[in-house]
Amino acid sequence: MFRRRECAGYDKGMRWLTITPTMALAALACVPIVANQEKSKTDERLDDAASLFSEVMTTPDKAIPQDLLNKSQCIILVPSLKQAAFVVGAKYGRGFVMCRAAGGPGWGPPAAVRIEGGSFGLQIGVAATDVILLVMNERGMKRLETSKFTIGVQATAAAGPVGRNVTAQTDALMTAEILSWSRSRGIFAGVSLDGATMRNDIDENQAMYGQRWSLKQILGSGAKPPAAAGRVMEELNKYSSRKGG
């Protein structure tokens, strides 16, 4: 609800006053306030995603293996996944997907996603967990184009190995569509996300682009990334600017 000093229009009894042109203009002036607040939250999440990736990759013995990062088609960064139950229960987080740029090296614009459900292992007392997923092949990318899918059911998944120079050659890692890691209390490790559902976050996409675009519309569009995405895209390009190199 708007505060009285920001938006005129109510008397003390919460009854509408007679609307004058001046009051109407004052009410319209409140709309950008709400939009800016929402944009600020989105910008903060993008910055948190950049920090998550940077902090993980600057610790070589605890980082995502470089060969897997280079081979990945897309990356999903979910800072601060919230836990809503004791030991095992509901989880909820908002993050961003970025895929390799279609026209050359680098990464394309971010699209927002929500991740919900799944046990994420035993996490007693952990209030929030950071999650990173790599989409490794075309099959995984096709999953992203749907409005929602369940990890481990509609997309094969495996817990990712840790260590910058680790070479992953197991069948599970080589055939998985998605590899996943989590970080809580400073510990970064592979984690199973089986049962978690990933869906488009249309509201967040609107905050970034001013359009209610789906993930599929953004990833394949070549849309201009929002200014707030500059840092996370810079970090991605720093560690893996092109597939296979």
Residues in the chain: 245
Place of tokens 């070549």: 222
Secondary structure of residue 138 in the 3-state scheme: helix
pLDDT in tens, 41-53: 999 999 999 999 9
Predicted confidence at residue 64, as pLDDT, reads 94
Predicted confidence at residue 119, as pLDDT, reads 54
What is the token pair recorded at 5? 């000093």
What is the token pair recorded at 209? 């682009």
Predicted confidence at residue 174, as pLDDT, reads 75
In contact, 192 and 91? CB cutoff 8 Å: no
Return d(Cα 65, Cα 68) in angstroms, integer: 6
In contact, 76 and 95? CB cutoff 8 Å: yes
Say how far residue 207 (Cα) sits from the centre of its chain.
14
What residues form DSSP beta bridges with 115? 93, 198
Predicted confidence at residue 83, as pLDDT, reads 57
Secondary structure of residue 47 in the 3-state scheme: helix
In contact, 59 and 188? CB cutoff 8 Å: yes
Secondary structure of residue 220 in the 3-state scheme: coil
Closest to 93 (Cα-Cα) out of 60, 59, 131: 131
Give the angle 73-44-180 at the CA atoms, nearest 5°.
Answer: 35
Return d(Cα 13, Cα 236) in angstroms, integer: 54
Reading the chain (245 residues) residue by residue, the pLDDT tens digits are 434 444 444 344 444 444 454 444 444 344 344 444 555 799 999 999 999 999 999 987 889 999 899 999 999 999 988 655 444 455 679 999 999 987 778 899 999 999 987 654 444 555 678 999 999 998 999 888 898 999 988 898 999 988 876 665 666 677 899 999 999 888 899 988 888 899 999 999 999 999 999 999 998 777 899 999 999 999 999 999 765 44
In contact, 181 and 62? CB cutoff 8 Å: no
In contact, 11 and 17? CB cutoff 8 Å: yes
Secondary structure of residue 147 in the 3-state scheme: coil
